[in-house]
Structure 1
Amino acid sequence: MRINSYYLSLIQEMGDPIWKQAVPDSRELEDREGMVDPLGEEKLSPVPGLVHKYPDRALLLVCSECAMYCRFCTRKRKVGRPEMVITDATIRAGLEYLQKTPAIREVLISGGDPLLLSTARLEEILCSLRAIPSIEVIRIGTRVPCTLPMRVTENLVSMLKKYHPLYINTHFNHPAELTPEARQACSLLADGGIPLGCQTVLLKGVNDDPETIRELMVGLLAMRVKPYYLFQADLTRGTGHFRTSISCGLNIMRSLIGHVSGMAVPTYALDAPGGGGKIPLTPSYNVIGKGETDFTSYLGQVFQYPGEKG
């Protein structure tokens, strides 16, 4: 386990939503339904530390540590083990693969958390990626704005903005994480011209109710962070006590669509077990007939749209 002093300070009482994300639970040892590698990353890794799942995108792991260890981590199989060790050699192998695979136009660097690297080391990696002509877009996956926001400094942002187009996807799960420190970190990044998105995980006992998710999504938007995904929890072994039903997620989406700004509505998605990729899950609002389609609005009103002519 790892909890830094900042994230520890957000815990108000035993068993609260921050506690559950950070403090080990004995139920992690009792989960027999989960999968060791739920997203099939190992079989999709042509070289160590790189996952090539989609035709034009790849995931490059550049750091083996996080600012705190989430108990629901999809890579629990690697944390604290030799399999998670990332070296200059593994990063170099990943860069060589990207150089030889021009179909990849977008790279997501992750880990661990890339922002735990020194600014100089992170810049070396970004510079190497920018030197590959076929790579157009770089994304960074980081939970640092939420779990260690003081790591985001003017010096870091000054470096990052040299490598546009660069995007950051961060990860907030509960309104209690939207602190003044987190707001300052996101403001620095946004002021540097870096678009921010948030990938939230739906977690039982943490945020599995409409009011909590609505407050979180609206709060993120006010911090200039676009809600991007609301993920159904992965089938990671040791995380069964966090998993909700899909119907729970669909009910939450119904509470958002039409009731808050569309900018604050994420895509509810399931990352298919075995490496099948992300599958969007959306409440049904339509009934398709022969001549027209009936739609139900977020208020329950029924509307019709005519079918094709001729």
Structure 2
Amino acid sequence: MKQKLLFANITEESNWSDWRWQLRNRIMSSDELDQYANLSVYEKASIQKAIDVFPMAITPYYASLINKDDSTCPIRMQCIPNPKELIKGSGDMDDPLHEDGDSPCPGLTHRYPDRVLLLVTNECSMYCRHCTRKRKVGDNEKVSKDSDIIKAIEYIKAHPDIRDVLLSGGDPFVLSTNRLEQIIRRVREIPHVQVIRIGTRTPVVMPQRITDHLVKMLKKYHPIWINTHFNHPREFTEESARALAKLADAGIPLGNQTVLLKGINDCAFIIKKLAHLLVSNRVRPYYLYQCDLSRGIEHFRTPVSKGVEIMEALIGHTSGFAVPTFVVDAPGGGGKIPVLPNYQLSSTSTKTVLRNYEGVICIYEEPANYNSSCSSTCNVCKGSSALHDPIGLQKLINPNAKMVSLIPEGNRRKKRLKIYKDILHDN
């Protein structure tokens, strides 16, 4: 067994299967990498410099998947630091998604109207080299405090529009089952919270964490949704498949968020194979993420056009539920923006010209007489707060809209007009 060859000190099979053992025995220094990768003295020194800035932690399980003789191994590239992480790219930011800026209290981000992100820990079982939260994950000075979590839950209670709470971190599953249950229970007790989601990479990097005890606890708080993070087909093993099966058998809907990474999965064939492995394990490919503008990960980034190219190779060429949504998480807190190939070529009031995945161009005939009466007759619309308080493009599209344009903040023309009015007022 490969794992036993690498970890000769294991005396019982149960040790390898114990997620706490996996955490205690994580590889965290360059000196411990010798048995996983052929490294020169210079390479080890360069890696250690990166570790000094961005901590390294690799579970023995995930380390056992590394191809020791392949410097381009997709497992290795995701877990072993690279000195390129110390190069600051022109677009790099510490907090590209503006999570801290959209935080009404520590550990909570409220960006979208009806959902929030609750960071319950800054620890992970493995520190992915492409992590968007490199600025805080593994930093002992940025530990999630009980008092902060309590304040965040109080904030959620005080805002009845919040119906969806995403627990993330770090990785919530590095918490003890009892500790995690305390948090989930308190969120579930809030009447207006309909859905609890959990983001975790443990099925990929430490599948031993998905224990019967954990699953039994989660089942008590349905609806629970879980998103995991497979980036490459090589990450599927018997252990990861068993972990996913336990969660799916417990009635937990599973999704996957893949990050598009240069040299790892920026290939339509790899993403398609990954999608097929996911759906065969009852996991819905949810998002394909454009790599964020976080500091230290520019060497992983691809052009957005690469993601569009991959979507062209997926849409129509495989089952619709096996196609993720390609998104750019907009810098500055703009949120996730779907990016698709252009299938609508032209449109008039009577016809819309479309193309399909094969390049076939067709015409869709629009209805001769169409008037929407939904807003005036629909009880759901009448009771919707969104109708009475429109946001974004709804301010223009809404039948009762008074606005004729949306002007971005900082618009130069508007600034010039204000300056001119101020001058006239002063005179």
If the length of structure 1 is used for normalisation, what is the TM-score?
0.98
Q: What is the aligned partner in structure 2 of residue 244 from structure 1? A: 302
Query: Cα gap change, 1:289/1:138 in structure 2, threshold over 3 Å: closer, same or farther?
Result: closer
Identity between Structure 1 and Structure 2 (%): 55
Q: Which moved more, 1:29-38 or 1:187-196?
A: 29-38
Structure 1 SS opposite 2:180: helix
1:268 aligned to 2:326?
Answer: yes
Q: Which moved more, 1:108-117 or 1:91-100?
A: 91-100
CA distance in 1, matches of 2:175, 2:290: 29
- Alignment RMSD: 1.1
CA distance in 2, matches of 1:244, 1:160: 37
1:131 aligned to 2:189?
Answer: yes
Q: Is the 8 A contact 2:118 2:167 kept in 1?
A: yes
Q: What is the aligned partner in structure 2 of residue 49 from structure 1? A: 107
Q: Which moved more, 1:26-35 or 1:193-202?
A: 26-35
If the length of structure 2 is used for normalisation, what is the TM-score?
0.71
Q: What is the aligned partner in structure 1 of residue 88 from structure 2? A: 31
1:2 aligned to 2:61?
Answer: no
> 5+ unaligned residues in a row in structure 1: which ranges?
none
Q: What is the aligned partner in structure 2 of residue 11 from structure 1? A: 66
Which amino acid in the other structure matches residue 63 of structure 2? L
After TM superposition, give the deviation of residue 286 of structure 1 in Å.
Answer: 1.9
Q: Which moved more, 1:77-86 or 1:132-141?
A: 77-86
Q: Is the 8 A contact 2:166 2:199 kept in 1?
A: yes
Q: Is the 8 A contact 2:122 2:139 kept in 1?
A: no
Measured against aligned partners, the alpha-carbon deviations of 1:164-221 in whole angstroms (never above 9, x if no partner) come to: 0110011000000011111100000000000000000000011001110000001100
Q: Which structure's relative contact order is higher, taking Cα pairs within 8 Å and 6+ residues apart?
A: 1
CA distance in 2, matches of 1:190, 1:272: 31
Structure 2 SS opposite 1:89: helix
Structure 2 SS opposite 1:295: strand
After TM superposition, give the deviation of residue 100 of structure 1 in Å.
Answer: 1.2
After TM superposition, give the deviation of residue 82 of structure 1 in Å.
Answer: 4.7
After TM superposition, give the deviation of residue 31 of structure 1 in Å.
Answer: 2.1
- After superposing on structure 2, the runs of 4+ consecutive aligned residues of structure 1 that deviate more than 3 Å are none
Larger Rg: 2
Structure 1 SS opposite 2:310: helix
CA distance in 2, matches of 1:285, 1:83: 48
Which amino acid in the other structure matches residue 355 of structure 2? T
Q: What is the aligned partner in structure 2 of residue 299 from structure 1? A: 358
CA distance in 2, matches of 1:195, 1:84: 31
Structure 1 SS opposite 2:328: strand
Which amino acid in the other structure matches residue 133 of structure 1? P
Q: What is the aligned partner in structure 2 of residue 286 from structure 1? A: 344
Q: Which has the higher strand share?
A: 1
CA distance in 2, matches of 1:53, 1:289: 33
Measured against aligned partners, the alpha-carbon deviations of 1:73-120 in whole angstroms (never above 9, x if no partner) come to: 111111233553112111111111111111111100001100111111
Query: Cα gap change, 1:83/1:108 in structure 2, threshold over 3 Å: closer, same or farther?
Result: farther
Structural mapping, 1:210-229, within 5 Å: 210-229=268-287
Structure 1 SS opposite 2:101: helix
Structure 2 SS opposite 1:270: strand
After TM superposition, give the deviation of residue 15 of structure 1 in Å.
Answer: 2.6
Q: Which moved more, 1:27-36 or 1:155-164?
A: 27-36
Q: Which moved more, 1:183-192 or 1:288-297?
A: 288-297
Measured against aligned partners, the alpha-carbon deviations of 1:244-302 in whole angstroms (never above 9, x if no partner) come to: 01111001001101111111000000100010011000101121243422221111112
Q: What is the aligned partner in structure 2 of residue 153 from structure 1? A: 211
CA distance in 2, matches of 1:229, 1:84: 28
Structural mapping, 1:103-142, within 5 Å: 103-142=161-200
For these two proteins, the number of residue pairs brought into alignment is 310
Which amino acid in the other structure matches residue 61 of structure 2? Y
Which amino acid in the other structure matches residue 60 of structure 2? S
**Aligned to 1:165, which of 204, 220, 223?**
223
CA distance in 2, matches of 1:284, 1:86: 43
CA distance in 1, matches of 2:115, 2:122: 21
After TM superposition, give the deviation of residue 154 of structure 1 in Å.
Answer: 1.1
Structure 2 SS opposite 1:44: coil
Q: What is the aligned partner in structure 2 of residue 255 from structure 1? A: 313
CA distance in 2, matches of 1:197, 1:301: 32
Structural mapping, 1:65-214, within 5 Å: 65-82=123-140, 84-214=142-272
Which amino acid in the other structure matches residue 64 of structure 2? S
CA distance in 2, matches of 1:168, 1:80: 22
CA distance in 1, matches of 2:138, 2:249: 35
CA distance in 1, matches of 2:306, 2:153: 41
After TM superposition, give the deviation of residue 70 of structure 1 in Å.
Answer: 0.7
CA distance in 1, matches of 2:171, 2:203: 11
CA distance in 2, matches of 1:282, 1:28: 30
